[in-house]
Amino acid sequence: MKLNTSQQAAVKQQTGADPVEEGSTPHTALTEAFGDHTFYVSEAGLLVPEPVEAEGTDPMELILVAEWTDEKREAMQRVEPKQTGFVLDAAPANDSAAS
């Protein structure tokens, strides 16, 4: 799932996480490996947002798609996608829902 600027801001507000910068060398390599997503790097590894059925105007869960291969966190290895249980609302706080 690729997030727009407003959704990225909502994720930042709720998690403090910044996405991997689009157009950067790492983002290009990640897109080639995993497809067109907004990518987040965490202590656990590489996360991508995926929509889920939950309460909220735009609920999504961060899914782990690659884990660090060493304690220095210098390389990652692809894994079967794993749910993290981290569900958040990707809708900006100032968005109003259409009736």
pLDDT of residue 98: 38
Cβ-contact 69, 76 below 8 angstroms: yes
Q: Which two tokens stand for residue 10?
A: 């909502």
pLDDT of residue 90: 80
Dihedral (CA of 47, 48, 49, 51) sign: negative
pLDDT of residue 97: 42
Cβ-contact 91, 10 below 8 angstroms: yes
Pick out the chain residues at pLDDT < 50: 95-99
Cα-based distances in Å from 19 to 8, 28, 42, 96, 99: 7, 13, 10, 24, 31
pLDDT of residue 94: 59
pLDDT of residue 99: 34
Domain extent listing, the chain: 5-89
Q: Which amino acid is at 12?
A: K
pTM of the model: 0.83
